[in-house]
Amino acid sequence: MRLLLLLSSENLKLAAAEAASVAGLKNYGLAGRLMTGRFVSGFLAKSWRLALTRRVFRLLFSCRPSGIAQSMKKYPWQRVCGKSFAVRLRNHSARALKYSEKELAGFVWRRLRRPVVNLENPDSLVEIFITRNQAFCCLLLSEVHNDFEARRPALRPGFSPSSMHPVLARVMVNLSGGSKGSVCDPFCGTGGILIEAGLMGFGVVGYDISGRELDKCKANLDHYGVKGYRLFADSAFAVRRKYDYIVSDLPYGRNSQLKGGSYAGFLGLLPGILRKRAVLAFPQNVRLRQLARRAGLKVECEFLHYSHKSLSKRIVVLRRGTGH
């Protein structure tokens, strides 16, 4: 099915990669906040997992802005419109399009046997996005609602000012490409990543050398109803079990200040404890590709995410090299 996703403007490259990972999609188009591609039918049932996607549409057709009227006049609207409809025009200017929203709705009206317009709560909402060179005509399928703000660190029973915001934590879990299995955070702290993975249905496991942090993590997981979690008061360098996915926001600072070892040392452990894929957040200045290559890991993709003026995270997706 051809879909169009309206992405968050926060980090477009990261938003597109997150959606592609959840969909298992390798090829897609990107025009500003609009992501288009041929998605498998099961994607819609998983779209609620996304953190950086706002709306999911069925892409009815695309054309040059100058051809929008002719395309709408010909389209078989009877096949896609319910009892009532509305048309919304997005991202347009007088230069890009000479038709008004009302005129475009008229093209749909004249193709229906019993047309009913409902501007407040239509059964079928047609949205038209106009870019400089292209017009996308879409049917709204779903809006993605996740109450991330209700789970932000300041509102958790076990508070830590350094805990990752749930939006980025969810994105990192989604970048793993998994939909089930085990997610391990070897530096779990108060459990920001584990909360999101647990709410998505993964089995979650956390390690932290601080018993105080683990107590807060347990309180948070219980508060949000995460079941079946396992927590270990131990260093990440003591992990010996294998997990499907390793997702973690690594401690920041100089390598010598990393709990129990170094970034290079931790990456060296990954091939022995990782089944499928790791998604890790590093400080921006870490020479990640060099460290990963030495550890026998392959960097699938990486993204720079600006947290605030003085801090940037490098989000990296890794898998074991062919030799492992």
Which residues have a Cβ under 8 Å from the Cβ of 323 and sit 6 or more positions away? 296
Bridge partners, residue 168, by sequence = none
**pLDDT of 91:** 74
Q: What is the mean pLDDT of residues 204-208?
A: 97
Closest CA to 306 of 165, 156, 177: 165
Q: What is the band of 98 on the pLDDT scale with cuts at 50, 70, 90?
A: confident
Nearest in space to 199 (alpha carbons), one of 77, 48, 42: 48
Kind plus residue range of the DSSP H or E element containing 247: strand 243-249
How many Å apart are CA 172 and CA 37, to the nearest integer? 22
Question: pTM for this structure?
Answer: 0.93
CA atoms of 305 and 298, how far apart (whole Å): 20
Q: What is the pLDDT of residue 324?
A: 52
Answer yes or no: is pLDDT of 177 > 70.
yes
Res 41 pLDDT > 90: no
User: Measured on CA atoms in the order 208, 211, 215, 216, is the torsion positive or negative?
Assistant: negative
Is residue 55 over pLDDT 90?
yes
All structural domains of the chain: 2-143 (3.30.2130.30), 148-320 (3.40.50.150)
Two tokens at 294? 């030495």
Say yes or no to pLDDT of 54 above 60: yes
Contact 137, 72 (CB under 8 A): yes
On the question of pLDDT at 190 being above 80, the answer is yes
- pLDDT at res. 285: 84
pLDDT over 50 (residue 94):
no
- Residue 80 is predicted with a pLDDT of 96
Residue type, 64: R
- Mean pLDDT across the chain: 92
Which band of pLDDT confidence, cut at 50, 70 and 90, is reported for residue 24?
Answer: very high
Kindly tell me if the per-residue pLDDT of 229 is higher than 50.
Answer: yes
> C-alpha angle 109/115/116, rounded to 5°?
115
Cα 150 to Cα 84, 156, 207: the distances in Å are 34, 9, 25
pLDDT band at 256 (very low <50, low <70, confident <90, very high): very low
Average pLDDT over residues 153-170: 95
**According to the model, what pLDDT value does residue 254 have?**
46
Lowest mean pLDDT among 120-134, 243-257, 262-276: 243-257
Helix (H, G, I), strand (E, B) or coil at 21: helix
Q: How confident is the model at residue 252 (pLDDT cuts 50, 70, 90)?
A: confident
**pLDDT computed for residue 120 by the predictor:** 96
| Tokens coding 52 | 């950086």
* pLDDT digits 0-9 by tens, 289-314: 899 999 999 999 999 988 765 678 89
Residue 228 DSSP symbol: S
CA distance 185 to 231: 10
51 pLDDT more than 70: yes
Nearest to 112 by CA among 140, 72, 168: 72
Tell me what pLDDT residue 92 has: 59
* The pLDDT value given to residue 255: 43
In 25-158, beta strands by DSSP E: 29-31, 34-38, 53-63, 85-90, 124-130, 135-143
